Amino acid sequence: MRKHIYDTVNKNNVIRSMAAALSTWHQAAENDRKDELWIPLWVYACSCIDALATLAYPTVQSARKRIVTYVSQNFPDLRSGIGAKKFYDKMRCRAIHSASVSKPFLLERGKATDPYLRQDSGYPNRDLFNLTRFLDDLQNHLQGLQSVTPVPPHWTGPTSFPTPPASGEV
């Protein structure tokens, strides 16, 4: 009997697995006294956004277009707090490629109810990005996707999403 076969064709399984991993990792990071899990959790959360954008817009060739569209459509507070394009260019790309963020940003463990960005006099010319808010919003989004009507096995993206913008719009 094969125990470790994962049905990645069933997108509902993929979303459920992402939500479970994110939740487990987030709880572990909250309890980590050495603060060693937050950067890998940040990278994982950004890869979840990548995967969700690809699931939603599988025919869009540009990763930037897919992710900017997905963030714009599904994370309105993130879009208004930092901007979908800036999130992609300054946050997501650095997370995926170098496990960091670009200047002027720093990651901060804030409260889920705090805004996405804030300034602090201890860090002049830097914007503190609320990682806790981002993780909570992503977890809520994943839970919302799971509560939608059952997803057919050959799902190519949430049916409630509009079609991606034309090539010059993003």
Q: How confident is the model at residue 53 (pLDDT cuts 50, 70, 90)?
A: very high
pLDDT tens by residue, 55-98: 899 899 999 999 999 999 999 999 999 999 999 999 999 999 99
Lowest mean pLDDT, pick from 3-12, 31-40, 46-55, 98-107: 3-12
pLDDT at 152 over 90: no
- pLDDT for 92: 95
Residue 24 falls within a domain, yes or no?
A: yes
* Short-list 128, 81, 130, 133, CA closest to 112: 133
Instruction: Decide: residue 163, CB within 10 A, 0-12 exposed, 13-18 middle, 19+ buried.
Output: exposed
- Residue 74 inside a domain? The answer is yes
**pLDDT of 16:** 86
Segments in the chain forming alpha helices (H):
11-30, 38-56, 63-74, 76-81, 84-86, 93-98, 131-147
Within a domain: 15: yes
Residue 130 falls within a domain, yes or no? no
Confirm whether 71 is domain-assigned: yes
Burial 130-144 (b: 16+ CB within 10 A, else e): bbbbbbebbbebbee
Give how many domains the chain has, as a whole number.
1
Band (pLDDT 50/70/90 cuts) for residue 40 is very high
Is residue 108 in a domain?
no
- Domain annotation covers residue 152: no
Buried b (16+ CB within 10 A) or exposed e, 61-89: eeebbbbbbbbbbbbeebbebbbbebbbe
| All residues at 6 or more sequence positions from 53 whose CB lies less than 8 Å from its CB, including other chains | 63, 66, 67, 69, 70, 71
pTM of the model: 0.80
**66: domain range?**
11-98+135-147
